[in-house]
Amino acid sequence: EDQVTQSPEALRLQEGESSSLNCSYTVSGLRGLFWYRQDPGKGPEFLFTLYSAGEEKEKERLKATLTKKESFLHITAPKPEDSATYLCAVQITSGAGSYQLTFGKGTKLSVIP
């Protein structure tokens, strides 16, 4: 069974205090790993796609990396507006379920001014 586990469940940072969020996964065959941001009362907003181990993607203060077992979302010098829940999701390569995303429970990030 495909599984996605995110840690920590919640993270409080001071503004400017860099850190990383973890997403570990177990799948039969990985087609892609996706990071989303979700603000309260809103739908998830797409951030990154990673396809293969060693791949990295960057956007402003965020950088996503991928290994064969996990992905990290690094947040450099965060600002209060980075506060949100960050969701990780995987898509498998083929067969039943290959159209679906399997999401983790998310990490709720709070950045304190």
Partner 1 sequence: GAGVSQTPSNKVTEKGKYVELRCDPISGHTALYWYRQSLGQGPEFLIYFQGTGAADDSGLPNDRFFAVRPEGSVSTLKIQRTERGDSAVYLCASSPLQRTGELFFGEGSRLTVL
CA angle 12, 14, 20 (to 5 degrees): 60
Q: What DSSP element (H or E) covers 3?
A: strand 3-7
Cα dihedral 51/37/105/54 (nearest 10): 20
Under the binding rule (CB under 8 A), the answer on residue 27 touching partner 1 is no
Nearer to partner 1, 31 or 69 (CB): 31
Q: Which is nearer to partner 1, 14 or 99 (CB)?
A: 99
- CB 69 to partner 1: min, Å: 18
CB 20, min distance to partner 1, A: 19
